[in-house]
Structure 1
Amino acid sequence: MMCLVFVVGMTGMSFAAVPLYRIFCQVTGYNGTAQQVDQYSSVVLDKRIKVTFDANVAPGLDWEFKPVQPSVSPKIGETVQVMFKAHNSSREPVNGQAIFNVTPLQAGAYFNKVECFCFTETTLQPGETLEMPVVFFVDPAIVEAEETKDIRVLTLSYTFFEHEKPASDQAAALKTDTAGRKS
């Protein structure tokens, strides 16, 4: 009986590991995970930090994706909006979801996003180009922590992946016969 309880418990933990790890990373900034916040910084230092941007597309996603500008140098604590541009080069609508991280990894806990396209799924129609905002600030506490006080450049990196089609789209696709007609 003890072995059965152990096996069932370990199976349950294996399914819970990914969501629990994601929550842990979001709360602690571990592994370069930026923080999602609802408010702006109330403190702005008279010290700048350079933030560079990296944009990638996963294999199989026929999109072009890039930052509108390669970098910004805001004051630490200053709220900044930057734009990224995505273009669907395919002949069909595509849903995408961006994942992100911040390097150096120890700086992730101090990178705060107020608004980001990466919080939701993005759908682009064939040939559509979309500018998407990211609103962020670097927490002034970054200059106090021993492991981050000497950091002068951060890199915010995104990778877009194709997201599964909604169930209604999948059902419609199943109803389409080989000649392309609805049944």
Structure 2
Amino acid sequence: MDRAEVLLVGGRAGVGKTTVGWEVSARLRAARVAHAVIDGDFMGQVHPAPEGDPHRTAIGERNLAAVWGNYAELGYRRLVYVNTVSVLDEATGMFRRVMGDTVRIVRVLLTATDETAQARLRGRELGSELESEVRGGVRKARMLDAGAPVGTLRVVTDGRTVTDIAAEVTAATGWVPAAVS
């Protein structure tokens, strides 16, 4: 396979993106499907934001290009990319620039109720940013719901196991035969 493919897993904080991304990777490994995993939140983690890049978009893209370039050089063509807003149309350009114009993009938006997301955040956020994450999560959930393009698979995570969610997400890629995914 020459053409690159990317699975974008997006959603508000507390919806389970990172956990699902790792479980998708475990399923792909079990099926012997070559792939790479990148948590997009780490691609732009600098402070202060670079001059002229307040949302850290440009530095995130530069870092993605560098890391993906290393993976691609080793022959990898499939990427699992986890990031809150990765499913939005604005991200498409970045993946086309980094992975090539013919990249196949699969978008999955994980969803959860405000109550579920807040409970998960309260269980994991032990630092000073809990309330900010909770407030931002509500706003981002509404923005993602309204802005996710047609064709985005929406996967509800409330009351489901990570293995069940990951099976649905993995199946959306077509990377694993149905009997295995």
Query: What TM-score, normalized by structure 1, do the two folds share?
Result: 0.25
Q: Which TM-score applies when normalising by structure 2? A: 0.25
> Which structure has more helix as a fraction of its residues?
2
The answer to which structure, 1 or 2, has the higher relative contact order (CA under 8 A, 6+ apart) is 2
Which has more radius of gyration?
Answer: 1
Q: Where is the strand percentage greater, Structure 1 or Structure 2?
A: 1
